Amino acid sequence: MVDRIAEPWGERTPYGPGDEWPVRVDRYLADGRTDVDVDRWVQSASVLHSNGDAMDIGVADGRIVGVRGRAVDRINRGRLDPKDLYGWQANNSPDRLTRPLVRDGDRLVESDWDTAMGRIVARSRDLLDGPGGWGRFGFYTSGQLFLEEYYALGVIGKAGLGTPHMDGNTRLCTATAAAAMKASFGTDGQPGSYTDVDHCDAIALWGHNVAETQTVLWMRMLDRRRGPNPPAMLAVDPRATPVAREADLHLAVRNGTNIALVNGLLREIIRRGWYDRDYVDAHTMGFEELCRIVDGYPPQRVADICDVPAADVERAAELLGTSQRLLSTVLQGFYQSNQATAAACAVNNLHLVRGMIGRPGAGIYQMNGQPTAQNTRETGADGDLPGLRNWANTSHIEELARLWNVEVDTIPHWAPPTHAMQIFRYAEQGSIKLLWISATNPAVSLPDLARIRRILAKPDLFVVVQDLFLTETAELADVVLPGATWGEKTGTFTSVDRTVHISDKAVDPPGEAKPDLDIFLDYARRMDFRDRDGQPLIRWTGPEEVFEAWKECSRGRPCDYTGITYARLRGGSGIQWPCTEEHPDGTERLYTDGVFHTDPDYCETYGQDLATGAEFTEPEYRAKEPNGRAFLHSVDYQPSPEVPDEDHPMLLTTGRTVYQFHTRTKTGRAPQLDRAAPDVWVELNPADAERLGIAEGDLVGVSSARGGIQARARLCGIRPGVVFLPFHYGYFDQDPADRTPRAANELTITAWDPVSKQPLFKVAAVAVTKLADGRGVPSPAPTIGGSAPPADAGVPATVGGPAAEATSGKE
């Protein structure tokens, strides 16, 4: 028995380089049940992060009663994280939406499917027939639906309505991962494999608190660290996260300065001869320009910009430069920070110049965050074209037109797809009049919430929200559609390392809730979308048919799924794409031969200027003659769009705790997780706190040019001058009479990366003031994770108690 709230990572199973990661099967069954009480186990994988932990769902009396990890799976070998173990309880929550709701004046009232869909279709027809046509529609979807649902939505948007205004919350999440891989390697698609952890001799974590966010991947890293010949570890993060505390070297950079750091590291690596001249010559372009740019970042300049010791920059360069099998992971500390795509590409550069790609242990994970973000991108539900096709390549559009049997001009491709922040801007300006939001909660997760609420509440904007609960966003909708979720519907999704899993239906959804796929297909039927021959555009009736159609769409593209079937996904491990007739067991690593996806006829983009985002044309791209070589992109450091000043003297950054997922619609309804981190807190460095007269637990006001919130102070290991807020806390479980603002995004800025268009959640200027004395009661921050207080602070440890007892064993 293990309390997995008190011990999120469980027991160590150490192993050595090249060995197989030992099995450890984790399980949690509620209410003291044991295996004999379970009627059936149904195969699935986790939807509370991008790791892809494979699990079985335990069912008794038609309800979910627990979960266990799947020992056969290549990703987790049986392990589960705390959210995986306890999060499923939200499915059974009594406040699930069970019927559609429609707006009646200032109220939402219960209705039926015909009425709700009837309203959406009537509005759609009016808009489609009126001035502006397809330009009036905006779709904002998720990284948490299934592949089949995204593909159906993508076809509705692109071939049915013909609108370019479609994006996912993946824009907030992994747009930069996609943009950086497109820019460096030609297309999206992770080069590495999780088994690189088994082989590497050094791990660099770039703005990635993997211990709290891909907890099972961290277990794998920790098990290597506790075994023979452990890998060295470098952490780049302004906070003393568990990763930073474990690392051999921690660079606590000032947030917003990543590019200066990586440029400086590249300079040292090149000057000290730690690069692979042959690999550079044979497989890359842009080395001379890279040398010219990074030459401007000697250690002392990096130290000044990033506020880290110059000697540590040199030590980090040595750690990276002398490793033989380097594994890098990159996530939100880069993607949501200043110069996101440029900084993520700089990590790619580091691997390319050292030839550290495409072989065991030498891997890059440009991480995903959400469980199915990879599929949003692959299927084009983020506005890109399905199959990682290039919107500027006419023959790619023609392929899709043939596949869907529609006119080429129906498919929007005259300009880049509209990104999420621009969709909200169009809604604000009134050109978008119908906004359909599925499986995301922008009234908590987008920057500058006062503005987002104002937009969603506009009387001339018809808002459809498809969710499990009456969220902060759903409250502002005109129609609310009750979705069925994980465990209640069947579909597939793909992890960071391209492993495809199936998630089978285990139980019926509550009330009249429906799978998102059924909702989208119902809309297509009611709208009567037709193909070029006057036949129904969409004839699918269930997920497996959509999957089969998707396989055809993916054929010949990097994400080729043609060798995968539902049957093959059932019973064993997940399978990594590309999976074809020639490679029936999938593909462990990409670019093993040093040939990249940069061929002009194959690539996903003709490229952008990484400093400004300006798009290059096809002739400009062809003139570069990439011949399968990767691009080394180099960019100079520019300060963040917002820096501290007299009124707002501190830097804000935001992020996550191990116990909560996003806006907490699921984890806030799982008692063990909720109790471990029940309310917002603000992390302060003890020196800043002393200067401001703030002690542990004091009530603090944090304000920016956008708004203000209140939170209790946690004094911990964050760098001086910086404050951190978890962004999880909206108001769903607050007393309705007391809606004191507490969401981090009341403060964040409306600004985005010029290339990936990912919003800047990690840098804003704020003022911090003490509002009330905490009288010695500590803040609600967990004592585990980035918010861990000093050992002598006297804060009681975060524990789960008997209710959190899970098991770990050999099977």
Ligand X SMILES: Nc1nc2c(c(=O)[nH]1)N[C@H]1C(S)=C(S)[C@@H](COP(=O)(O)OP(=O)(O)OC[C@H]3O[C@@H](n4cnc5c(=O)[nH]c(N)nc54)[C@H](O)[C@@H]3O)O[C@H]1N2
Strand 137-141 to 166-168 pairing: parallel
Q: How far is the CB of 116 from ligand X (least distance, A)?
A: 14
What is the separation, in whole angstroms, between the first and last Cα of the chain? 14
**Residues 736 to 765 in contact with Mo ion, rule: CB under 5 A:** none
Q: How far is the CB of 453 from ligand X (least distance, A)?
A: 14
**Distance in angstroms (rounded) separating the CA atoms of residues 612 and 17:** 42
Comparing CB distances to ligand X, the nearer of 99 and 583 is 99
Q: Return the residue of 38, 173, 432, 476 that touches Mo ion, per CB under 5 A.
A: 173
Q: Return the residue of 124, 190, 195, 332 that touches ligand X, per CB under 6 A.
A: 332
DSSP 149: H
Tokens of 111: 């209705």
Which of Mo ion, ligand X, none does 366 bind, CB closer than 5 to 8 A by kind?
none
Give the 3-state secondary structure of 282-336.
Answer: HHEECHHHHHHHHCCCCHHHHHHHHCCCHHHHHHHHHHHHCCCCEEEEECHHHHC
Q: Does the footprint of Mo ion cover residue 244 (CB under 5 A)?
A: no
Q: Which amino acid is at 58?
A: G
**Distance in angstroms (rounded) separating the CA atoms of residues 451 and 505:** 38
Q: Return the residue of 111, 263, 393, 466 that touches ligand X, per CB under 6 A.
A: 466
Instruction: Quote the distance between the C-alpha of residue 565 and its chain's center.
Output: 26
Q: Is 504 left (phi over 0), alpha (psi -120 to 50) or beta?
A: beta
Count of residues for the chain? Answer: 811
Which of Mo ion, ligand X, none does 695 bind, CB closer than 5 to 8 A by kind?
none
Q: Return the residue of 24, 49, 70, 669 that touches ligand X, per CB under 6 A.
A: 49
Which of Mo ion, ligand X, none does 27 bind, CB closer than 5 to 8 A by kind?
none
Q: How many residues touch ligand X (CB under 6 A)?
A: 63
Which of ligand X, Mo ion, none does 631 bind, CB closer than 5 to 8 A by kind?
none
Which of these segments, 85-93, 166-174, 274-282, 699-707, binds Mo ion (CB under 5 A)?
166-174
Nearest to 618 by CA among 777, 794, 372, 391: 391
Which of ligand X, Mo ion, none does 399 bind, CB closer than 5 to 8 A by kind?
none
Which of Mo ion, ligand X, none does 49 bind, CB closer than 5 to 8 A by kind?
ligand X
Exposure string for 314-340, b = 16+ CB within 10 A, e = fewer: bbbbbbbbebebbbbbbbbbbbbbbbb
**Residues 152 to 171 in contact with ligand X, rule: CB under 6 A:** 169
Which of Mo ion, ligand X, none does 471 bind, CB closer than 5 to 8 A by kind?
ligand X
Comparing CB distances to ligand X, the nearer of 449 and 590 is 449
**Distance in angstroms (rounded) separating the CA atoms of residues 115 and 100:** 9
x-or-dash string of contact with ligand X, 645-664, rule CB under 6 A = --------xxxx-x-xxxx-
Q: What is the DSSP string of 647-677?
A: SS-EEEEEE--TT--TT-TTGGGSHHHHHHS
Nearest to 237 by CA among 725, 762, 748, 729: 762
Contact 630, 345 (CB under 8 A): no
Which of ligand X, Mo ion, none does 209 bind, CB closer than 5 to 8 A by kind?
ligand X
Ranges assigned E (strand) in 128-223: 137-141, 166-168, 202-206
CA angle 17, 23, 26 (to 5 degrees): 135
x-or-dash string of contact with ligand X, 377-396, rule CB under 6 A = --------------------
Task: Select the residue whose beta carbon is closest to ligand X and give its number.
Answer: 369
Which of ligand X, Mo ion, none does 263 bind, CB closer than 5 to 8 A by kind?
none
Please give the C-alpha separations between residue 125 and each of 155, 164, 564, 584, 808, in angstroms, as whole numbers. Answer: 18, 18, 38, 45, 55
Which of Mo ion, ligand X, none does 258 bind, CB closer than 5 to 8 A by kind?
ligand X
Which of these segments, 70-78, 384-392, 454-462, 464-472, binds ligand X (CB under 6 A)?
464-472
List helix spans (H) across 457-591: 516-527, 543-554, 566-569
Comparing CB distances to ligand X, the nearer of 173 and 352 is 173
Comparing CB distances to ligand X, the nearer of 378 and 560 is 378
**Residues 361 to 380 in contact with Mo ion, rule: CB under 5 A:** 369-370
x-or-dash string of contact with ligand X, 734-773, rule CB under 6 A = ----------xx--x------------xx-----------
DSSP 385: B
Which of Mo ion, ligand X, none does 452 bind, CB closer than 5 to 8 A by kind?
none
x-or-dash string of contact with ligand X, 307-326, rule CB under 6 A = --------------------
**Residues 408 to 447 in contact with ligand X, rule: CB under 6 A:** 438-442, 444-445
Binding site residues, ligand X, CB under 6 A:
49-50, 83, 142-145, 169, 172-173, 207-209, 212-213, 236-239, 241, 253, 255-256, 258, 331-333, 336-337, 369-370, 438-442, 444-445, 466-469, 471, 483, 485, 516, 653-656, 658, 660-663, 665, 727, 744-745, 748, 761-762, 786
Binding site residues, Mo ion, CB under 5 A:
173, 369-370
